[in-house]
């Protein structure tokens, strides 16, 4: 550990020196050589004289990871053993069984088999406990280790031993792994008269193709005139895919994003590569605080070019571009190389990682330092902190008991029990959790002796410690005691007070069991206020064009 800390300190020293260097190529080259020479000497001295045996790979990885962590969250070292994860990030492909894994207590569960993939086709179900994988026990393994055991070369055999609620006998499954391609288009539907809906989860290398297919089907089969593109919770991905998708809607050759960095190869202007195919569709893009990177390119370019209206929360504000650089021995460095700028000229990066505070923290760009820009039709937009929607909404849900039930995985556990006694339930468009089922869930929580400590309680405990240290507690004892009583959770009352939120989260878990991911989306859209607003703005053509400042 002492050696690892030495390496961490050295790499931080090296990073700070390289960041501070700006006196020309020759000086920079000398400083790099000097610091690498120091590092090499420290490594050799530790190897020769440190009292214990050194783990070279672990120590070097620790030092590298600490070094890059001082830059920004997106610059990361990817060792050879994690290259499969890198492939999945860029292509959405991996070799495996097509299921997500979770851990609850000591048990490792299948949390979600993907519809139509090997696990689901072979009747591996959400809630199944994984006991063995190819005769290897899962006891004491992590989720990551189990996931790695399930992954493998397509057409290789995987043997599972499972335990299922309601069945005493151990279940054995044997089938072949396959190439798993996760479709980035999660869900498509007709959500109103002539209004289509497409939800895109990420920007991998087939996103544009899948989007085009989905929209074409809606146009051909449903005769849509308007389209809702849902990129909420979409953290981004490949810039090229975002550019291709924009090319479906704006003229060929349109500048939709620029990247600017300190190296010549990072400076580039991205233009839409094809003639648009959906020129007449009215567009609404749904975003939230977790829409980032390539999602913000699509939303920002749509807004800057006045091609569609943006609805939802202010987006994340990630205006940084990463490239993958091979560094030898199978490893890669995902490194931030540039910032991106959307058509109006604005950069929406929200956090300034280059100028840290003395304590190492970083701050968001204050509103007073943002700059105004103009869209194609003269609307005012701003830089420095994400895309501000044309129709700004807010998620008013509070951190209540429904969240704490979720955090303890109790919706998941109850669903395991529920599925064992309910072969079917109503389809997502009709399902309503009955009062009897809700009461049964409350009984289940009671049997589990569910309780929780709220954030208010945690903060109260910290405040009380401070009050005691300052001697205030003896003067305000009664008031403090009354406050403690008021903030202490009353589980039964809080469950009933928040019945709607609890019922919704439980229903979503049940949708996943019977109708998979598509069922969850279909059910959640029934009460989606942002979608309802999008439909109103799209169907009222005068309002739609007024928002975009277009005279029609």
Domain at 93-181: CATH code: 2.30.42.10
304 is an active site residue? yes
Domain ranges of the chain: 2-70, 93-181, 185-323+337-395, 401-452+489-532, 455-487
Q: What is the DSSP letter of 19?
A: H
Catalytic choice (3, 244, 318, 512): 318
Q: Which residues pair with 282 in a beta bridge?
A: 226
3-state secondary structure at position 237: strand
Q: Which CATH superfamily is domain 185-323+337-395 in?
A: 2-enoyl-CoA Hydratase; Chain A, domain 1 (3.90.226.10)
Write out the DSSP string of 100-168. EEEEETTEEEEEEEPTTSHHHHTT--TTPEEEEETTEE-TT--HHHHHHHH---TT-EEEEEEEETTEE
The catalytic residue among 226, 254, 291, 293 is: 293
Catalytic-role residue among 72, 128, 304, 306 = 304
Please tell me the predicted confidence (pLDDT) of residue 276.
97
Q: Can 318 be counted among the known catalytic residues?
A: yes
Q: Which of 296, 77, 265 has the alpha carbon at shortest distance from 203? A: 296
Average pLDDT for runs of 10 along the chain of length 552: 47 50 68 90 92 91 90 90 72 87 93 95 96 96 93 94 94 95 95 98 95 98 98 95 98 96 90 96 97 97 98 95 88 92 94 75 75 95 92 86 94 95 96 97 95 86 85 82 83 93 97 96 96 98 95 79
What pairs with residue 268 in β-bridges?
Answer: 259
Which residues, in sequence order, are CB contacts of 348 under 8 Å at separation 6+?
296, 300, 315, 317, 318, 319, 342, 383, 384, 385, 386, 387
pLDDT score of 228: 98
Q: What pLDDT, on the 0 to 100 scale, is given for residue 525?
A: 97
What residues have CB less than 8 Å from 193, skipping those under 6 apart?
539
Q: Is 434 a catalytic residue?
A: no
Within 13 Å of residue 224, how many CA atoms lie on the same side as its CB? 27
The pTM of this model reads: 0.87
The full DSSP string for 391-456 is EE------S-HHHHHHHTTHHHHHHHHHHHH-S----TTT----HHHHHHHHHHHHHTT-----HH
Handedness of CA 4, 9, 12, 13 (dihedral sign): negative
């Amino acid at each position: 550990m002492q050696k690892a800390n030495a390496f961490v300190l050295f790499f931080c020293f090296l990073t700070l020196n390289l960041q501070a260097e700006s006196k020309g190529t020759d000086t920079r080259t000398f400083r790099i050589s000097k610091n690498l020479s120091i590092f090499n000497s420290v490594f050799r001295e530790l190897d020769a004289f440190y009292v214990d045996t050194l783990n070279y790979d672990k120590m070097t990885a620790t030092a590298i990871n600490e070094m890059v962590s001082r830059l920004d969250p997106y610059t990361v070292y990817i060792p050879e053993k994690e290259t499969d994860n890198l492939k999945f990030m860029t292509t959405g492909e991996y070799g495996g069984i097509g299921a997500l894994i979770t851990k609850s207590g000591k048990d490792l569960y299948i949390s979600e088999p993907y519809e139509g993939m090997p696990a689901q086709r072979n009747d591996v179900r959400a809630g199944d406990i994984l006991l063995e994988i190819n005769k290897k026990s899962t006891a004491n393994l992590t989720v990551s280790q189990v996931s790695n055991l399930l992954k493998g070369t397509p057409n290789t055999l995987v043997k599972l031993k499972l335990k299922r609620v309601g069945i005493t006998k151990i279940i054995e499954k044997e089938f072949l792994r396959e190439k798993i391609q996760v479709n980035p288009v999660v869900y498509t539907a007709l959500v109103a008269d002539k209004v289509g809906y497409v939800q895109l989860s990420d920007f991998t290398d087939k996103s544009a193709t899948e989007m085009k297919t989905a929209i074409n089907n809606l146009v051909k089969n449903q005769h849509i005139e308007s389209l809702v593109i849902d990129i909420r919770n979409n953290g981004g991905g490949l810039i090229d895919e975002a550019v291709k998708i924009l090319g479906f809607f704006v003229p060929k050759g349109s500048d939709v994003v620029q990247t600017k960095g300190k190296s010549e190869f990072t400076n580039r202007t991205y233009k839409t590569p094809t003639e648009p195919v959906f020129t007449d569709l009215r567009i609404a893009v749904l975003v939230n605080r977790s829409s980032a990177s390539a999602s913000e390119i699509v939303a920002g370019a749509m807004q800057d070019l006045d091609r569609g209206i943006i609805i939802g929360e202010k987006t994340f504000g990630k205006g940084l571009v990463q490239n993958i650089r091979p560094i030898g021995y199978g490893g890669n460095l995902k490194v931030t190389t540039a910032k991106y700028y959307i058509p109006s000229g604005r950069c929406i990066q929200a956090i300034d990682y280059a100028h840290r505070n003395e304590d190492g923290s970083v701050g968001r760009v204050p509103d007073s330092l943002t700059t105004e820009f103009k869209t194609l039709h003269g609307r005012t937009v701003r830089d420095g902190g994400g895309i501000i929607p044309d129709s700004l909404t807010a998620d008013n849900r509070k951190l209540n008991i429904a969240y704490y039930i979720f955090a303890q995985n109790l919706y998941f556990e109850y669903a395991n029990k529920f599925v064992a006694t309910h072969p079917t339930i109503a389809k997502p468009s009709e399902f309503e959790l009955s009062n009897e089922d809700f009461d049964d869930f409350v009984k289940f929580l009671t049997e589990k002796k569910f309780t929780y400590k709220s954030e208010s309680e945690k903060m109260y405990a910290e405040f009380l410690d401070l009050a005691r240290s300052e001697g205030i507690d003896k003067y305000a004892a009664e008031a403090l005691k009354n406050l403690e009583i008021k903030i202490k959770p009353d589980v039964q009352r809080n469950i009933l007070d928040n019945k709607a939120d609890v019922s919704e989260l439980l229903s979503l878990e049940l949708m996943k069991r019977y109708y998979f991911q598509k069922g969850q989306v279909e059910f959640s859209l029934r009460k989606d206020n942002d979608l309802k607003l999008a439909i109103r703005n799209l169907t009222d053509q005068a309002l739609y064009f007024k928002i975009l400042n277009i005279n029609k």
